[in-house]
Amino acid sequence: CIMTNLSDEQAAKRAAIRKARNSTKPDVPAEQVLALLDADLALIQAAIDALPHEERRAG
């Protein structure tokens, strides 16, 4: 199931970001966190684009 994979992936990303925040020397550079967020946005946009036009909400 795509949704399960996405939520697992998001949980892993959240854990990585939390770990980076909690450590004084982050394992995850800010650029990498931003890249992950950009990738998430692209996935979300692709999912929205795949919806039938009637299901999209304005705004």
Number of structural domains the chain divides into: 1
Two tokens, residue 16: 């990585």
Q: Could you read off the pLDDT of 1-59 as tens digits, one per residue?
A: 566 777 888 888 888 888 877 776 656 788 888 888 899 999 999 998 888 876 666 65
Two tokens, residue 22: 């909690």
Model confidence pTM above 0.85: no
The three-point CA angle 24-18-48 to 5° equals: 140
Name the residue range of residue 40's domain: 2-55
Amino acid, single-letter form, for residue 18: R
